[in-house]
Amino acid sequence: MFDYIVIGSGLSGSTITNLIAGKLNKKVLLIEKRYHFAGNCYDFVDENGIMVHKYGPHIFHTDNKKVFDYLSNFTQWSSYKHRVLAFIDGQKVSLPFNFNSIAELFPEKISNVIQEKLIKKYGYGEKVSILDIKESKDKDLAFLADFVYKKVFKNYTLKQWGISLNELDASVAKRVPVFIARDDRYFSDCYQGVPVKGYTKMVENMLFHANIKIMLNTDFKDVIDINLGTKKIYFMKEEFNGKLIFTGMIDELFNFKYGYLPYRSLKLDFETVNEEYFQEAPVVNYPNDYDFTRITEFKHMYPINSKKTIILKEFPKDCKPNKDIPYYPIFTAKNQELYAKYQEEAEKFKSLILIGRLAEYKYYDMDDAVERALEVFEGEICNGK
């Protein structure tokens, strides 16, 4: 009945499903464990009329015009520009750490000296990893690097990841750089915003096609069997001769044969506040105070006339297998070695394709997930259609 089976309806799975059904005119079965599609991007309008992101804030941003144009087939975009503050030494300052942050936290004379030296060394408008600045031999830049490391990254990283920044891959530190400019937007990409009617509606539009059948509330293990011996795939106890595209946890796909791949999860506490607005920005980070890492206020993303507002506090935690939602792969050398074993196992299956954050054990932003799906479609799938 189906040419392709896709496991998981997040952005990776939904994009690849849409492309196969629409451009190749092939039959696709999309299997989703949750009661809804759209993965962690799922959003909804609550009883107060406020758009809420069920699994935490998602802000689309990209410099990839191809990705933006593709998604624009399914949604219109707001002109929203994301802003983040950090609570440091009793003040709320801009993130990424930038010239505004420096001016707010340091005396004017010191601030001016640091800004001039940053421009001279790295150039205005550049984004520089705190680890790179930390290696500077200039005493003022070394002072700045030490301050930002201790006040912005050190404790936040411990809360977010459960391990120190030094134990993580350097790519993690580079995700939140020092911005040598006064631009206080959290992202500087050409294209950024949120879908006018939400991510759920956008994904619904992607999946509205006669060639697509969707099974919600279905664990893939209930209908799919992976035979590790014969390297055959079975659907509903019959051999499946099409392609299986998997976007879930790769270790789960292979019954945790080599052990569990570690992830970080989140405890999400939503709260209705009887105020028009709770905080000055959509997101305020708390690197050194409280057990939560940040507070999100959704009305900043989707403004609405309401006397109430919804806030979300995020409490990072270890991910318990088969219980918690795996949000973030933990990038250490040991974990990458474990993933490589599962990847080698997957390569033995000619009809199996892995895409997405969980299947590839990579930190994909939303645009990265879509870009990767486009690449796989144009490469592996179209070349082997």
126: in domain:
yes
* pLDDT tens per residue across span 108-165: 999 999 999 999 999 999 989 888 888 888 999 999 989 998 999 889 999 999 988 7
Same domain, 201 and 225: yes
Mean pLDDT, residues 247-260 taken together: 96
293: in domain:
no
Same domain, 118 and 176: yes
Q: What is the pLDDT of residue 65?
A: 98
Q: What is the pLDDT of residue 131?
A: 80
203: in domain:
yes
Q: What is the pLDDT of residue 183?
A: 86
Q: What is the pLDDT of residue 173?
A: 63
DSSP for 124-136 reads TT-EE-HHHHHT-
On whether the CB atoms of residues 20 and 279 are closer than 8 A, the answer is no
364: in domain:
yes
Same domain, 254 and 356: yes
Q: What is the pLDDT of residue 6?
A: 98
Same domain, 348 and 246: yes
Mean pLDDT, residues 266-290 taken together: 97
Torsion angle in degrees (nearest 10) through CA of 19, 22, 23, 25: 120
The three-point CA angle 21-26-31 to 5° equals 65
Q: What is the mean pLDDT of the chain?
A: 94
Per-residue tokens: 101: 């942050």
Q: What is the pLDDT of residue 132?
A: 86
Please state, in angstroms and as integers, the Cα–Cα distance from residue 302 to each residue in 83, 197, 271, 310, following that order. Answer: 14, 10, 17, 11
Taking the whole predicted model, whether its pTM rises above 0.85 is answered as: yes
Mean pLDDT, residues 320-338 taken together: 93
Per-residue tokens: 240: 């499946």
Same domain, 110 and 176: yes
Q: What is the pLDDT of residue 234?
A: 96
Per-residue tokens: 38: 């759209």
| 172 or 31, greater pLDDT | 31
pLDDT tier for residue 174 given thresholds of 50, 70 and 90: low
Same domain, 334 and 255: yes
- C-alpha span between 29 and 257 (Å, rounded): 27
Mean pLDDT, residues 344-362 taken together: 96
- C-alpha span between 95 and 23 (Å, rounded): 41
Q: What is the pLDDT of residue 176?
A: 66
164: in domain:
yes
Same domain, 252 and 333: yes
- C-alpha span between 331 and 286 (Å, rounded): 23
Q: What is the pLDDT of residue 175?
A: 63
Of 115, 146, 180, which residue sits at a domain end?
Answer: 180
Same domain, 155 and 223: no
pLDDT tier for residue 322 given thresholds of 50, 70 and 90: confident
367: in domain:
yes
What share of the chain in percent tops pLDDT 90?
84
- C-alpha span between 147 and 141 (Å, rounded): 10
Q: Does the pLDDT of residue 385 top 60, yes or no?
A: no
Torsion angle in degrees (nearest 10) through CA of 188, 59, 300, 125: -10
- C-alpha span between 308 and 210 (Å, rounded): 41
Number of domains the chain contains: 2
310: in domain:
no
| 356 or 154, greater pLDDT | 356
Give me the domain span that covers residue 360.
4-48+64-72+194-260+329-383
Of 151, 180, 209, which residue sits at a domain end?
Answer: 180
Which residues, 6+ apart, have CB-to-CB distance to 323 below 8 Å?
none
- C-alpha span between 378 and 272 (Å, rounded): 45
Tell me which residue of 318, 342, 322 sits closest to 262, measured CA to CA.
Answer: 318
| 164 or 323, greater pLDDT | 323
Please state, in angstroms and as integers, the Cα–Cα distance from residue 92 to each residue in 49, 55, 200, 287, 382, following that order. Answer: 28, 25, 32, 11, 50
3-state secondary structure of 297: strand
Q: Bridge-partner residues for 265, per DSSP?
A: 317
Q: What is the pLDDT of residue 111?
A: 95
Of 137, 154, 180, which residue sits at a domain end?
Answer: 180
Same domain, 105 and 131: yes
Same domain, 107 and 243: no
Q: What is the pLDDT of residue 251?
A: 96
Q: What is the pLDDT of residue 321?
A: 87
Same domain, 175 and 110: yes
Describe the chain by its helix, strand, coil percentages, rounded to 5.
Answer: 35, 25, 40
Identify the residue whose tokens are 């992101």. 53
Same domain, 226 and 172: no
CATH of the domain at 350: 3.40.50.720
354: in domain:
yes
